[in-house]
Chain A
C-alpha cells in the first residue's frame, strides 16, 4: 500500500496545528474580559508583562496561580516577577520602566484587586507606569 499521500496529509495537519496553536498565549489565563468599544488591537509587544486576576482575586503569572494580593506570598511573587522583568528592560531618565504591564482581570473581579497590582507597580525598584487594561474588542 502506498503510504506517501497519507504521510503528506498528516504532515500538513501537523504544520497547520503548529502554526495555529500560539505558544505566546501561554500567559493568558481563562477569564472573561469585559467588552470595550475603544479597545485597541493588542499587539504582543516585546517584553510586555501580563498579570491575570481571577474573579476571587487570585492572581496568575505565567501559568502559576497564587492567592489574592492580601497575602504576603502573592505580593512577593508579583514583586519579584515585576522587578525581575523590569531589570531586563530600559528605564527613562526618572528611573521609570519603559516596559508595559497588561492587567487581565475577569469582568466580575473587584477593581480593588487591580489597584493592589497598580500599587505594587509604583514601588521602588519596579516603577511601571504603563499599565494597560485588557478588554475584548467589540466586534459589532
Chain B
C-alpha cells in the first residue's frame, strides 16, 4: 500500500490582519479620553410655570442679583436682597452668616442680561461653598 503524504495546511492570515488593523485605526482615530467633568446641583422653582401657586414658602428666600460689572472680580456685581457685596469672598461670608441664622435658608438667583455662564457658576459655587444648597433660578430673564 502506497504511503500517502499529508500536505502541510497553512492558514492565510492576511485578511484577518487587515481587518484587525482597520479596527485598530478606527478606535485610535475615534478615541476621546474621558474628561473630568463635574456638575453643580441646582433645581428650578417647583412653584413657577404650570405649577404656579401650588407651593407656598413660609421662609423668605434670599434674592441674589447678578449683574455685569467689568470693574469687579470676574466682571460681576453680586447683590443680596439689593445690597451690593464687595466681592465673592464677602458674598460667601455673608451667606454663611445668614445660613447660621436660619439653617433652612433658601435663595433665588436673578442673573441679569449680559451675565455669562461662568459668572453664574462662580456665584452658585460660592453659595454651595457657604453651605447654601437650596438654590433656584428665577425663570424670567430680567433686564439690566
Q: Which residues of A contact B (CB under 8 A)?
A: 3, 6-7, 10-11, 13-14, 17-18, 20-22, 25, 28, 33-34, 36-42, 53, 94-96, 102, 105-112, 114-116, 118-119, 121-124, 127-137, 139
Contacts and interface: CB of A to CB of B under 8 A. Distances in A.
A116 B137 CA distance: 12
Interface of B: 13, 16-17, 20-21, 23-24, 27-28, 30-46, 48-51, 54, 111, 113-122, 124-125, 128-129, 137, 139-141
A4 B85 CA distance: 69
B24 A137 contact: no
In the complex, which of the residues B27, B48, B124 has the most CB atoms of chain A within 10 Å of its own CB atom? B27
Contacts of B119: 111
A37 B13 CA distance: 54
Contact of A14 (B20, B41, B45, B139): B20
Chain A contact residues: helix, strand, loop or mixed: mixed
Contact of B13 (A7, A18, A95, A133): A7
Contact of A40 (B33, B38, B50, B121): B38
Chain B contact residues: helix, strand, loop or mixed: mixed
Given A10-B21, A36-B40, A111 B117 contact: yes
In the complex, which of the residues B17, B42, B44 has the most CB atoms of chain A within 10 Å of its own CB atom? B44
Contact of A122 (B13, B35, B124, B139): B139
Given A38-B40, A109-B116, A122 B121 contact: no
A31 to B, nearest CB: 10
